[in-house]
Structure 1
């Protein structure tokens, strides 16, 4: 049955290719399919940046020919299929997605295109150009060639200000002195528009609140020269309002800290640092809110200060809207200075929120069951923008299937509290003026977790973290956690569990070191927030160091290892690099790629990296053709190990690569086709894995690979993901059997959010 299925798909693909190549037979008599045009530039002089000029001209060519893919025109193919009496469901579906009407030679208006090309040439200084065109025709297709004869372009001889009215004259004069419009530069209308916008930005930054770039006019004078040069003059429009040429100063700043969108009734005013905080004392203490505001009374209006203030206030996390409005004080206006009142309206989020998460869990060891998490949030705990998140979680799993371990249960209870201060808490006072883009936040968290597995053990763990997160600019975020403590303590261990540890010294050693104290640093560069960009990049690097600081106070025990406060501590270094790239080519179509590499190194007091810090591979956010934590290490096969299903397969090296094509289906449903590759290894071969886990130069041949399809339900950024993947290279098999696309071993993955 599978063979018939594969043959049918292959035959359909071949038929589709043949039909796509045969669209010529549908072209009406007397018509030719228009396949596009090219531009050839002929010039008597050297043209600087000729490639850029050609790109501008080619972008102006009309009409746009039908799209091609691998030499075929599938959109055109499905258009012609739709003209049949009974097009069928498949043709109707693909026509709706990619179909397009044909573009014929008769649709090309040569003279109109020639006029557009002439206009583009004149806008770039090539006045009195000439354009000719001709068609290159064959039996069913036609293309066009546009030949542009470019004369010597006009260049700038001088750039200077015309007579302007004060006080704007000196401000524009300073801006013109920094101009890129220099002597010898070719006339270019787009450069003049950019110059006007640049000067407008400069003037706004100097307080000219009512100025507009449309008030600036360029004039060119060629009378002084006979060799295609011109003097460029900048002047202001006549009858321009007086308000546009005077700077404005901020006289007063009012901060409405608890604004509901309508009511501006003043019940309480607190004066702090030359600013008026209205209705703030009982909601957000002015001394905590004030550092986020960069506007200052007595200073000139600055749009940059407005943007910085709005952005910084938004990062607090307590407000849903930040709106800054300026009001002109006409009674205080003079011929040389205007006065503004700045009003900052802050609309708070609901102070308290409750979130419930229900999930279903399946694992490679056949454990499955429900999970519940309840999160309570307080977004303004001490009236200083502090955010408290407290999460209580419960998980219950039962081991499914047949065998001696069937029916084993696992119960997981957790409680975690995270408190985020929107300011730096440090023994030495930090000057927040240094952080122009955003003020760092202080993050603290405490958590406890209890895990009980029948017939094995109970595991109690506690964590504590203290650190800072800082957004340096729009794309870059730093997070440093100088204090990170993790403590685990097994209890109620059974003889069966002890026997497993005795058989696996590697696993036993990773459980022995119960105390981890270290430092974490994360660097993130994220262009994914720029949704309009064609090429988006993402980079996340993580450094995890443990045991170095407390090693100074460690005391050696009878086993030859060191302890701190009676606890054996771990020493290791771990580095992760996660790189992602998105190529957006319109109509919500994306090619997403990811590379991940990680390495953990144990030293000093540790022989192995602690179990909770080791890597695993497989699952909905990894190599999706393999169940979570079931891939590797290396070429290890766990089928003959009866105890392997108790613990996840881990290693201290991890490499992964993923690529995915995402496309819209209908409404909020989206599809995906993907391929994944990856594995984990150990830097030193361990007896537990029969030496098959060691990382070598042959690692490429030991990658687990799989491919599949997926469905996404994307509702305003909240994504439910369903992926079906099958392996086509399984490193746990013998080399002659590894390459086999086995649809019968398809793995279903459910996830929230995109995998990368």
Structure 2
């Protein structure tokens, strides 16, 4: 009975909410609820009708008030916050609302003409459209009836047959034409064809040619509703647009100033195939040998041109690149001079940052960063970055402050904008500059009253982009050394009482030495895509050859050391894929799957703590405290030491999946409905329940929740409320739990979780 009363109450609320929007309408007016197009054409398929209908309805104006689940919250907000004041909360809320769209503002004739034009542009030359309104109470919609008539198809496409350079070049593009025999006539395709031909001609030296120099003549008098299309060069096309241009001289200005318009050609110094104009010698000329891709006496090529511009920016020191071409043709030789005028960032900069944060582990903290940059260290666009940092985190009101955690350290990275190898220089002619990176870092981690960890790291490797979407990271040699110090009797006592090996693993000496490689594919920056993906996968190795040479085998008691410390030996794989699907202009479904596993062997039975996987928290399982889940069916809370101190749970293997629905609610506010699942495991058993087995699916932790995102462009402030649904450490048959605010985890974070 209560269930049915709840449904009735909800129906009453929704009905009242829907009606409340119309009671504010001016007298005699009706709320416009949108337009509908009915297609009258029996010769096209149902799918074609649906696509055409969606295309036409997208052209209708005005747009009705936005709705969510059949309701119009922005209109309701506008209605209930009416005020004459221009400031204050009510005035601000009113601006976030949306005034009613009235049916009197709909121009049926104008919309009908727009739809008719659109139909004619997509092959329906005999189309006609009429419109009418249909009222229901105080609302009304517009209905348009489109009699399309027959669609006209392309019978043939004729390219120029002339013998001039330009006619021949245009005809040479026919093989890749967008205009296909048998396709419907489409004005948008014709426009795109002109752009395609122009882009191809730009690769062949026609620098001054433009899409407007082409005309597409249509003959629609052919029988059986067909058209012939004739691609022609306009007679009025200027001679400059008909010429094939070659490159004459190339000038690079590394110290260009917008207030200095002098070309200073008398100070030009020749270097290889281009000239440098840099009287103060601020940069070494060889820094540009991988950026200037145009060459003298070669035909102008737009691809080499745009790649060069991108490479100048990728080089690092330059904020702006101004590019100019100068026509220096002679009577029988069309030529261009090229000028690259580069405006620099300040060579040296110092940045100070202060960050405040609240973590899902109920820790509050602050971090300060001091960063120094030198963007042209040795005169070859080398970037030196030195960062000093300090942070502290603690629990307010927790026993012993949750044993506050503080870090102090620094890192220095030197990046060269080229490959540095003992071998022959790699040929690389895409739009991106490769980088060689050398990094050194040190940090001391202090957990008050428990332990200190000294962490050293160094790496040398390469990063390069294959194209806009594909990136490669190769660390030829990465070294990490973690040395525990000042482990207190308090921590020893916690470890003994809890009998959880996680406590000991945190303070194990760690020595990793080896290469790693990661590959990234990302097309999510193309916002026009309905479906986009991000993938990152890689492999890391440590001391594989050294372990083989020394015969390390910890299971047989043959533990080997390097510089007096047992070295870690493992191979580690990690894979993450994210998939984004737009369900509409203001809503997205985002999914993520992560699978990673490390295989310790030889000198190790578990991969080092710094390389292990963790799960839980604001960017993972949001219904569980950070690093509190797993491994396997281990109950972290049951392993808590004195004063309730919880270890950070880690494992050799990690599986995680997330799905999140992200609709825009209003203004800068987006909502979220999410479900997370995952866990971590060890490859070898170190405590009951932690080993990866065939029953891993039954050991997945699951949560669900809701959230809000405040997108202010420069950053996204995120809040999530997650509810545990499955707790893997509970006995079989009792792991599913009902959502409870008592167990809920509230997360505040910056940026999306994935």
Fold agreement, TM-score > 0.5? yes
Q: Does 1:441 align with 2:435?
A: yes
Aligned partner of 1:306 in structure 2 is 305
Q: 1:460-482 deviations in whole A, cap 9, x for unaligned?
A: 22212111111111122111112
435-444 vs 445-454, which deviates more? 445-454
Aligned partner of 1:659 in structure 2 is 660
Q: Does 1:427 align with 2:422?
A: yes
Q: Does 1:607 align with 2:605?
A: yes
Matched-pair contact (CA < 8 Å) for 2:356–2:367: yes
Aligned partner of 1:212 in structure 2 is 210
Q: Does 1:259 align with 2:263?
A: no
**What is the 5 A alignment of 1:76-475?**
77=76, 96-97=95-96, 99-104=98-103, 109-131=107-129, 141=140, 144-151=143-150, 153-161=152-160, 166-221=164-219, 225-264=222-261, 266=264, 268-279=267-278, 282-329=281-328, 332-334=329-331, 337-360=333-356, 369-396=365-392, 401=397, 403=399, 405=400, 410-432=405-427, 434-475=428-469
Task: Indicate how the Cα distance of structure 1 residues 22 and 555 shifts in structure 2: closer, same or farther if over 3 A, else same.
Answer: same
**What is the 5 A alignment of 1:422-571?**
422-432=417-427, 434-498=428-492, 503-505=499-501, 508=504, 511-512=507-508, 514-531=510-527, 533=529, 535-556=531-552, 559-564=557-562, 566-571=564-569
Q: CA deviation at 1:94?
A: 6.9
Matched-pair contact (CA < 8 Å) for 2:254–2:283: yes
Q: CA–CA distance in 1 between the matches of 2:675 and 2:377?
A: 44
200-209 vs 611-620, which deviates more? 611-620
Aligned-pair RMSD on alpha carbons? 4.0
Q: CA–CA distance in 1 between the matches of 2:699 and 2:252?
A: 63
**Unpaired runs of at least 5, structure 2:** 1-5
Secondary structure of the residue aligned to 1:549 is helix
Q: CA deviation at 1:97?
A: 3.7
Q: CA deviation at 1:554?
A: 2.2
Matched-pair contact (CA < 8 Å) for 1:637–1:733: no
Matched-pair contact (CA < 8 Å) for 2:632–2:689: no
Matched-pair contact (CA < 8 Å) for 1:446–1:463: yes
Task: Indicate how the Cα distance of structure 1 residues 515 and 240 shifts in structure 2: closer, same or farther if over 3 A, else same.
Answer: same
Q: CA deviation at 1:341?
A: 1.0
415-424 vs 595-604, which deviates more? 595-604
Q: CA–CA distance in 2 between the matches of 1:504 and 1:45?
A: 69
Q: 1:338-376 deviations in whole A, cap 9, x for unaligned?
A: 221110011111111222233346678877654333221
Q: CA–CA distance in 2 between the matches of 1:411 and 1:134?
A: 70
Aligned partner of 1:723 in structure 2 is 719
Q: CA deviation at 1:321?
A: 0.9
Q: CA deviation at 1:750?
A: 4.8
TM-score, normalised by the number of residues in structure 1: 0.84
558-567 vs 205-214, which deviates more? 558-567
Task: Indicate how the Cα distance of structure 1 residues 288 and 660 shifts in structure 2: closer, same or farther if over 3 A, else same.
Answer: same
Q: CA–CA distance in 1 between the matches of 2:365 and 2:101?
A: 55
Matched-pair contact (CA < 8 Å) for 2:268–2:278: yes
Q: CA–CA distance in 1 between the matches of 2:345 and 2:151?
A: 62
Q: CA–CA distance in 2 between the matches of 1:46 and 1:634?
A: 53
646-655 vs 263-272, which deviates more? 263-272
Matched-pair contact (CA < 8 Å) for 2:160–2:232: yes
**Unpaired runs of at least 5, structure 1:** 1-8
Q: CA deviation at 1:290?
A: 1.5
Aligned partner of 1:705 in structure 2 is 703
Q: 1:29-70 deviations in whole A, cap 9, x for unaligned?
A: 696855532332325689996655444444444554454433
Q: CA–CA distance in 2 between the matches of 1:676 and 1:46?
A: 39
Matched-pair contact (CA < 8 Å) for 2:389–2:410: yes
261-270 vs 646-655, which deviates more? 261-270
Q: CA–CA distance in 2 between the matches of 1:189 and 1:122?
A: 9
Aligned partner of 2:3 in structure 1 is none
Task: Indicate how the Cα distance of structure 1 residues 45 and 509 shifts in structure 2: closer, same or farther if over 3 A, else same.
Answer: closer
Aligned partner of 1:691 in structure 2 is 689
Q: CA–CA distance in 1 between the matches of 2:362 and 2:714?
A: 32
TM-score, normalised by the number of residues in structure 2: 0.84
Secondary structure of the residue aligned to 1:327 is strand
Q: CA–CA distance in 1 between the matches of 2:202 and 2:467?
A: 22
